Amino acid sequence: MRTFEVPTFYRSPLISAIKQKRKAGDKLKKDFTPTCLDMGPLQIYLARHFGFCYGVENAIEIAFRTIEQNPDKRIFLLSEMIHNPLVNADLQQRGIRFLQDTKGKQLIPFETLTAADIVLIPAFGTTLDIEEKLRSIGIQLESYNTTCPFVEKVWNRSESIGQKQYTIVIHGKPSHEETRATFSHAAAHGPAVVIKNREQAERLARYIRKEASQGEFEIEFAGQFSAGFQINEHLKRIGVVNQTTMLASDTQGIADYLKEEVRKTNADPDAVADTRDTLCYATSDNQSAVMGMLETKADLALVVGGYNSSNTSHLFELLTEKFPTYYIDGPDRMESKNLIHHFDFFQGTEKTTGNYLPEEGPVRILITSGASCPDAMVERILEKLASYYNVSLPYGEWELNG
Query: Beta partners for 178?
Result: none
Short-list 77, 74, 103, CA closest to 90: 77
CB 312 within 8 A of CB 306: yes
Q: Is 178 a catalytic residue?
A: yes
Distances (CA, A) of 324 to 170, 316, 369: 32, 10, 16
Q: What are phi and psi of 343, to 5 degrees?
A: -95, 125
- Provide the CA 110 distance to its chain's centre, in angstroms: 27
If you ran DSSP here, which 8-state letter would residue 272 be given? B
d(CA 253, CA 142): 36
d(CA 192, CA 305): 31
Provide the 3-class DSSP secondary structure of residue 297. Answer: coil
In DSSP notation, 304-370 reads: ES-TT-HHHHHHHHHHHTTS-EEEESSGGGEEETTEEEEEETTTTEEEEEES-S-SSS-EEEEEEE-
Short-list 90, 63, 57, 93, CA closest to 78: 63
**Residue among 80, 131, 178, 261 flagged as catalytic:** 178
- Provide the CA 180 distance to its chain's centre, in angstroms: 14
- Provide the CA 285 distance to its chain's centre, in angstroms: 12
CB 51 within 8 A of CB 369: yes
Short-list 65, 84, 83, CA closest to 75: 65
Catalytic residues, by residue number, are 178
